[in-house]
Amino acid sequence: MPVPAKVKNYLSKMKIQHRLVPHKTVFTVYDLSQTLKVKLNEIVKTLLVKADQEYKLVLLPAHRRLNLEALKRLLGAKKVSLASEGEMTKMMKVKPGALTPFGQLYKLGVVVDQGLVKAEQMIFGAGSFTESIKMKVKDFLRHEQPTVGRVSEAPKK
């Protein structure tokens, strides 16, 4: 499944420097890490969450997990939950696991975990199971203007 035209057009229109990274078919960030032979902390996990009545895209390093309480505090929300696969499919018109982090494409706010801001580059989903996007974090932040805060935690052992 190639990168959707909507994503390619967005990147081109916004003049965002990036590189498409082809790889074998993967469905998880762990599989992507193994396939590309890069550490999990170099890959971004994109999640769709519902904060009160609003949906947001949340980006965090793939080796960490979302802290819903921290996200709730950051957004000043009463209730925060992960969107269901059905909500994601209906809203984003993508298959589960094929989210892109470009909130402007979907008119959604974006939240970026503080841990990503320190990275120089990131690899994230491109709306495809066979290609990912690699780009500079500063370019992403400049174009998306996300809310930034500490919303991730180390996985429980």
Q: Digits of tens for pLDDT over the chain (157 positions)?
A: 688 889 999 999 888 899 999 999 999 999 999 999 999 989 999 999 999 999 999 999 999 999 999 999 999 999 999 999 888 888 888 887 788 999 999 999 999 999 999 899 999 999 999 999 999 999 999 999 999 999 999 988 7
Full-model pTM:
0.93
Distance CA(58)–CA(82), nearest Å, equals 10
- Sorted by where each starts, the structural domains of the chain and their CATH numbers stand as 5-147 (3.90.960.10)
Distance CA(86)–CA(123), nearest Å, equals 25
Helices (H), 37-113: 68-75, 85-92, 103-106
**Are the C-beta atoms of 146 and 112 separated by less than 8 Å?**
yes
- Residues facing 132 on adjacent strands: 21, 125
Q: Is residue 96 classed as helix, strand or coil in its secondary structure?
A: coil
